């Protein structure tokens, strides 16, 4: 018999009508700045923290990543910052058969997006920290290769770092002008 927590975790792993793709469409419309989407390899730890939604896809990572990026590209309010485990390029095909083919498929699925590499432990720390205040969608895949999870941090789709920097500079200039102008 399942306890309330066990039932909640089980329900959190099932996609609603339309499967995981419909779940991604719905979540993409709801998630915003500082939310995360993790496209997780099959041994990725289950998270029971509030604000984390887990969905089983039963598909490989490149297929899920391709679909998620296509969905995000149709939105205007968010764009992904993509993080990959720093360990991934070092995993050898002799020890993880299929990893070379996976890397080729991943490259195609990335749609030309730039990626940032961080240690797997650092990425897990970022997710744990994000779960304290923001929503995290975990899309569990059937990929069974080490260090293959893909982490997407959502950023504003209509405002970038350069725009923010220009705004802050203008605000600083205005403050300096007010300080330099004598009051009557």
Residues 45-91 have pLDDT tens digits of 887 778 899 999 999 999 999 999 999 999 989 999 999 999 999 99
Confidence tier at 181 by pLDDT (50, 70, 90): confident
Token reading at 31 = 């998630």
Residue 18 has pLDDT above 80, yes or no: no
Q: Of the candidates 148, 146, 150, 136, which has an alpha carbon nearest to the alpha carbon of residue 54? A: 136
- What DSSP letter does each residue of 92-146 carry, written as one string? -TTTSTTHHHHHHHHHHHTTT--EEEE-HHHHHHHHHHHTTTS-EEEEE-S---T
Report all structural domains of the chain as residue ranges with CATH numbers, in order of start.
Answer: 12-180 (3.40.1650.10)
User: Out of 6-10, 122-126, 180-184, which region has the weakest mean confidence (pLDDT)?
Assistant: 6-10
DSSP secondary structure code for residue 90 in this structure: G
User: Phi/psi class of residue 34: alpha, beta or left (left: φ > 0; alpha: ψ in -120 to 50)?
Assistant: left
Residue 149 has pLDDT above 70, yes or no: yes
Residues 81-129 have pLDDT tens digits of 999 999 999 999 999 999 999 999 999 999 999 999 999 999 999 999 9
């Amino acid at each position: 018999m399942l306890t309330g927590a066990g039932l909640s975790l089980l329900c959190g792993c099932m996609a609603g009508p339309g499967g995981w793709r419909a779940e991604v469409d719905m979540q993409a419309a709801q998630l915003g700045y500082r939310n995360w989407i993790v496209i997780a390899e099959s041994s990725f730890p289950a998270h029971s923290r509030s604000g984390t939604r887990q969905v089983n896809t039963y598909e490989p990572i490149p297929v899920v990543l391709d679909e998620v990026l296509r969905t995000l590209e149709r939105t205007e309010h968010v764009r992904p910052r993509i993080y990959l485990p720093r360990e991934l390029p070092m995993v050898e095909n002799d020890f993880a058969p299929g990893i070379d083919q996976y890397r080729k498929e991943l490259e195609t699925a990335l749609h030309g997006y730039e990626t940032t590499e961080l240690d797997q432990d650092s990425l897990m720390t970022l997710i744990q920290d994000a779960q304290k205040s923001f929503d995290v969608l975990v899309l569990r895949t059937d990929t069974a290769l080490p260090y293959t999870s893909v982490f997407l941090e959502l950023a504003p789709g209509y405002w970038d770092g350069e725009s923010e920097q220009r705004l802050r500079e203008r605000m600083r200039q205005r403050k300096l002008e007010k300080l330099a102008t004598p009051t009557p």
